[in-house]
Structures are given as C-alpha cells and as structure tokens.
Chain A
Amino acid sequence: MDEKIRSILTEHGRFPVDVAGIEDDEDLFQAGMTSHASVNVMLALEDEFDLEFPESMLRKSTFETVAAIRAALVELAAS
C-alpha cells in the first residue's frame, strides 16, 4: 500500500522535492503539495483502491501525511 501511495503522490502531488525523501509523518502540504494537487491525489487514490472517501474524510488532515493517508485507506477497507 505504501508503495502505491507514494507512487500516486509522485504522479499527482506536484512536489518540488523527491517524494522518496518525505518521511511517513512529514506534513505533505509543508513539503509543497498544493490544495489543488491534493484533490488530484484524492481522486487517484480512489481510482487505485476502488473506493470513495466519505464526506467526513474530505478534510485536509486526511491527506496531511503518508501515514494519515494509509490510516484512512485502512479504515475504509475495514468498513
């Protein structure tokens, strides 16, 4: 899962830095991901994992770190 998340972040996150160098708990927005890019990350994650983030998860904190994204995906998969 982590590999897919990082691959999507690389493709859609429009980071000015190498995603491989971003720690799991490092703030992705601070690392350069814009709000617009984060929406594209969200859509790509939904495509990749065949799910839809519910309205309650459509908040900045869901996509703030690699760890937060992973936690959200795990939670959705479990439900």
Chain B
Amino acid sequence: MTEGSESHGVRSSPLWFGPEDRPLFGWLHVPEFGQARGGVVLSPTLGIEAVNARYTFRCLADRLAKAGFAVLRFDYDGTGDSAGADDEPGRVDAWLRSIRTATALVKGLGLFRVGVVGLRMGATLAAEIFGSGSTSINDLVLWDPCASGRTFLREQSALWAFTLGAEARGDGSIETPGLVYDKDTVAELSALVIANGDGDGPMADRVLVLMRSGRTGDRRMNERLAMPHAERRDIRGQEDLVDVHPDAATVPEETVAAIVEWLALGAETATNVPIDPDAVGRTRATVVVAPDGASIEERAVSLGPLGLFGIMTSRSESGDVSGGEGDNLAPAEVSPTILFFNAGVIDHVGPARLWVRLGRQWAQAGLQSVRFDLSGIGDSPVHAGQSSQVIFSTEGLDDVADVLRAVGPGDPSNAVLVGLCSGAFYSIAGAIDEKVRGLCALNPILTFKLPVADSNEAWATQEAPEGRRVISGGMKGWVRTMPAYDRINRIVKRLPSPAWWIINRVAVETPPALRLKKAVDAGVNVLVIAGTDEGRWLKGGEGGTLRQLERTGRFRMEVIPGLEHGLFEASTREVAVGILTEHVTRNFGAPG
C-alpha cells in the first residue's frame, strides 16, 4: 500500500470505498494535526471537463484541509480509478449513487458539518440528489452548474464537432472528447434538469451558486436557485479551467479561495473532531472479476524516493485481496510489468481513461501493470523547486528510472513502457536508458517542437526547458534562433520525404527514426502507432532506416489514417487499442 502523503499541513490518502463488488476510488485530505471541523465532498464534472479540473480539485481539497476540513474527492462509478466502465447501462443512476456513497462516507466521520461542492455536471447531479430532500447536508456549492444534462451534452458534442468536424452519430448516442454517451445515457442525462418544479427541497442549509461572469444562466434554473438561503456570485477564470485543452487548464484561484472562505464561514463555530484517515476506506480493491473467476485487484503504490503515485493492477487467482500489505512491487512471474505514462498533464488514468481500461483488460491475460504520475502531474508530489503541471521536465526523466527500479528492484529492465505523445517521449528515453523489454509509443513526440496537426489546435509547441539534463532530438539551436523559424518550420513539414533526409542531417539534433533505432539497438521490442501527420513526420526521409529496423524483428510501426493525436476520438482509438492489445498480449503475455 502507499502511505498517505503529508505536505504543508495536509495529509492525503488514496482509498477505495463503497460496495466491495463495485468500489469507488478517491482521496481523503485531512488536516495534518488529525482533527477536522467539517467534511466536504467534491463532486467532479464529466468527460474532458473532469480531466481539466482534476488538478484544481486536488488544490481545492488541500486548501480546504488546511482550513480544517476532511475532504473527499472521488471518481464516479465507471470513471477515473473507480470500478466499472463508461459504456455500461444505468450510468446516471450510478453517478448519483456515487455521490450518495461519498456523502455517506464523510457523514460517517462524525463531523459537525458536511458540505458538497459540485462542479458543472457534478453540480447538476448534486442538485438532483439534495434538491429531492432524500439526503440532507449543511452546505452546497453549485460551481458553474449545467442547467441540464442536455445543455452539457450539447456543448460537449458541439465542441467535438467544431474540433474534428465530426458529424452526428445518427444512433442517438453522442460522442464528446474521450467519451461516447450511449442512447440510454443520453436520454437519462438529458432528463436531469435544475429547474423549478423538479424537487422543491432547500438542497442544503446554505447554498452558494457560482455563475460565470457575463452569463445570465438558464431562466428556469435561475428561478429554482433563487432561494432565500442561496447566495449567488459571479466568478471569473472558468473559461481557463474548462474551456481549454487539458494541458492549458489553470486553477481559478479566486474561485477556489471563495469556496474555501464560504465553507469556512459556515463552520466557524463547529467543534473539531478527531479523524483517523487510516481507518477510512480500503487500501486495495477488486475492480473486475474475470470471466474465469479470477479477481483483478488494484492497490495504490508509492514509487521511488519521492513517492510518486501509482496504481498497480494485477490478477489474483485466489480472489483474496485482504493480505499482502507492503510495497513489494517485484513481479512474481517472468512476465514484465506494464508501465503506463502520463499523456501531457492528463493524470494516470490516461487519455480517454485508456490506461485504466487496458490495465484491467491485460491483467486478465496475466499481465501486471502500473499506471503512475510523473512528478508534478496528477497525484504525484513535486521535487524541491519543481513546478506542477509541466509536461516536459528533466525531473521526469529521473522519475522514469526511479519507477523502473521501484517496480523491478531485481531487474528494472523487465518492463514494457506504454506512452502517448509526451508519455511516449519519456517511454523512449527510459527504454533506451534501461534497455527494457518493450516499448509501445503512441503518436510519439521526440522533440520539443511538436508537429501540430490541423485538427488538433491545442497541442501547442513546447520550448525546451533549461535543466541539468539536456533532452535532444529537436531542431538544432541555430535553426531555432532563426527569425522566421516558425514559418520555415511550417513549410519544412510539407516538404517531400527525400528533402527530410537532408534536413534531418543538417538541422535536426537527433532524427526521430534514429532515436527509435537507439531503442531497437538496445534490444527493446518497439511498437510505434501513429496518425497520418505523426507517421509522416516520423518516416520523413528515414524510410530506409525504418525498413532496416523492421528487419530486426524488434520493430513494428503502424500508421492509422486519421488517428487523432490525443486518442480522444473513439473510432480510430479503438483501432489503436486493437493493435496495441494484440501486440502486448502476443509478445509479453503470461506463458500458457
């Protein structure tokens, strides 16, 4: 298990809670001195918005804990690290039930006040529960609430249509970035409305409604929320939290401060109650029961000297998840451990929750995996002096070595590294350094100048950081300093392949294909999956090199036409998943 981490007066601990056969995952943040004057449940929004807001929720939880609250942030059933899948029936009921379960857990701590903070659809779901009067709480914060599930779906599907030019699916389902809501879920979600007449309960003793500055809000929602005990405030900065690509999301400091202050005011006279976080929830859980009856078990792990956060997924033949405490991460079998890397600042659940899904699926084939967060990303701490939410960091390269040693202390090379975009960058670096058994690089970025696809506006270019370890592979310094570099770079990307051969040798520090060659030469079994643009960039001028690599039998490159860079698009993502799964289980699956 992983110990709770303590920093700046807060202790935060990962936990599973709720039904044994359908566990929810969350983090409990408590004041370091072990007492709290109130409890708060943080209800996230859905889909890509939840990805954007994950770090903000972590910050809010920490700040509330510093203000004396015990705070539970959690993932709804079928989302994040909780059990279940997003394509199962009864999603809306499952999400509502998740909030009730989380609230019951916090209420069970015996605190004098309990509040809920719901963001966007989290607010809509919370209003549905607490507006009905079936459960009572003291404080409710409705943070930029969606007037209805329909408005949320409409905005999300429009976003996807405007981003990719996607058409309506025609079967009643709706695709949004990273998530497809099936017909039934669309109907259930659309019926969820914050409006006069839909339950007339007071929702809570105190209600704070935070509306985006400049937006009037839905008339019927405004009428419903115009309660005498409800305070309405305008907030700024919401666009920079949810209306941007995840890598660009920023914490809305003013809003976070306002929420902490408002909740603290309500708990001003509340008495402190002792809290023992070790006695709350469970440290491991069975998240899936395989068709053959084996349990797929997950547990939180602390990796390396810094204590990077990860979740290990493995198959348990006995189904017994009660024993085996400790951080012995060494795999018992010969099979390598799969390591899933962050993609940009997306936390360890992976793009479109892919690392959770694949980890659990591959565990059924006997493969153990760890999805983890690099320092400063997701739920991992930062090194001294390091900034959070930085995609490319020199510390990240050291993290990879630390994680490999933590997962395989006897043989750090007995691993298969799986990464997308920046995660592929780190995977390739780790594969070369540690000569691991396998590498699966999806839409790999090998330089700090990303090839921005037209349909993928948000993957902004990254400048090389200053640091003690130089990451090579980009354009040579003299090229980057040219006055018209950006324009030249755009032109160069359109040049035919033979021209690239020359450019790679004159202007590029380490051509992409040569970087992959280093991994293959180190004995690593390499799979590269790339979209059209990324594939062209990787192959440019290096067709001969790649054919040479393929002849070794340790290199395979698959180009999937139209594969969206971040794997948020469902149909091409499934093609990639099929190739990836077949490759991993065939080459690294458990014998027999």
Contact = CB atoms under 8 A, between A and B. Distances in A.
Contacts of B157: 58
B161 A36 contact: no
Given A36-B244, A39-B159, A47-B216, A59 B457 contact: no
Contact of A37 (B154, B215, B243): B243
B162 interface: yes
A12 to B, nearest CB: 8
A58 to B, nearest CB: 5
Contact of B163 (A35, A47, A56, A63): A35
A11 B213 CA distance: 12
A38 interface: yes
A4 interface: no
A7 to B, nearest CB: 12
A39 B146 CA distance: 14
A14 B458 CA distance: 14
Contacts of B168: 55-56, 58
Range, interface on chain B: 20 to 34
Interface string B218-259: 000000000000000000000100011100000000000000
Interface centre among B157, B161, B162, B216 (most CB of A within 10 A): B162
> In terms of DSSP, what is the predominant structure of the interface of chain B?
loop
A43 to B, nearest CB: 7
Interface in A11-65: 11, 14, 34-40, 42-43, 47, 55-56, 58-60, 63
B214 interface: yes
Interface in B156-174: 157-159, 161-163, 165, 167-168
Given A11-B214, A47-B216, A36 B159 contact: yes
B53 to A, nearest CB: 14
Contact of A40 (B216, B243, B245, B458): B243
B161 A59 contact: yes
B155 interface: yes
B155 A43 contact: yes
Given A34-B457, A35-B457, A47-B216, A60 B161 contact: yes
Contact of B161 (A11, A40, A58): A58
Given A11-B214, A59-B161, A59-B167, A40 B457 contact: no
Interface of B: 154-155, 157-159, 161-163, 165, 167-168, 214-216, 239, 243-245, 457-458
24 contacts: A34-B457, A34-B458, A35-B159, A35-B162, A36-B159, A36-B239, A36-B244, A36-B245, A37-B243, A38-B158, A39-B158, A39-B243, A42-B158, A43-B155, A43-B215, A47-B215, A56-B168, A58-B154, A58-B157, A58-B161, A59-B162, A59-B167, A60-B161, A60-B165
3 tightest A-B contacts by CB?
A: A36-B243, A35-B163, A35-B162
Given A39-B243, A63-B162, 11 more contacts: A11-B214, A14-B239, A35-B163, A36-B159, A36-B239, A36-B243, A36-B244, A38-B158, A42-B158, A59-B161, A59-B165
